[in-house]
Structure 1
């Protein structure tokens, strides 16, 4: 269940190549969106296990089916955990290094910022000012997304369902 990304990078690269998306930005996006974040699955499982069963049972007694119960009760209650998951997935994808590096080895022009910062490190010299400037610029979108979704993130981590 907990398989590190490093173990799956070769099959992902082969699959992207077989799909004809090698050295394209769409291949990198597809590989990053496939994720398989076990952490997020565990976060959702922990959140939904805190929701009282009485809510679901009362909806069933009122004649609600599974999908209506989920859409009208469970989904509105899960806004905090969805916000937390969105923030975490965006941050992990934005900071991803290995997958974009492997998938863009022969086409440096489509490399994302995290991989592009690696170019400031030479064989004998490191451009620390360039790396610092790039890191400052790269953190701005994450800060903006966090500020927009901050309420959901705090509620999702602390637990929004009161028992």
Structure 2
């Protein structure tokens, strides 16, 4: 990425110059962390913008998509494990699962080893819808990032993965 010379919605000044004047200090760890704080705020706003201006989530809302993707990746889980994996309160995960069960996206069966535990399994309809949403999201990102080179795409993917792993270690461990 040509980060030092790339301008964004904040104006025509390169990012490094904006960070220096906004944070009052050039570079250094504190300056980098301040730039990350600001950019995550913009990133969250941009994700909301993309969500509102897209029909990608007509099949499933974001919570349903993430829950089904988690079940597809990790296999059937009980509510507590699912909640822990997603960083949710078990009661929130239970409500989401109940709503998805009514829509025929998942099923919840008693665990044969412990009938008090319910095991949540994605249904074929839920997996098909999650696959469609994943496909649409991937196409949307491919279109948005069409002028990025492969190295920039790999760097962004690696940094998002590292960030998400750090959040999971810090808050979900």
TM-score, structure 1 normalization: 0.30
Which structure would you say has the larger RCO, counting Cα contacts within 8 Å and 6 or more residues apart? 1
| Larger helix proportion of the pair | 1
> Could you state the TM-score of these two structures normalised by the residue count of structure 2?
0.28
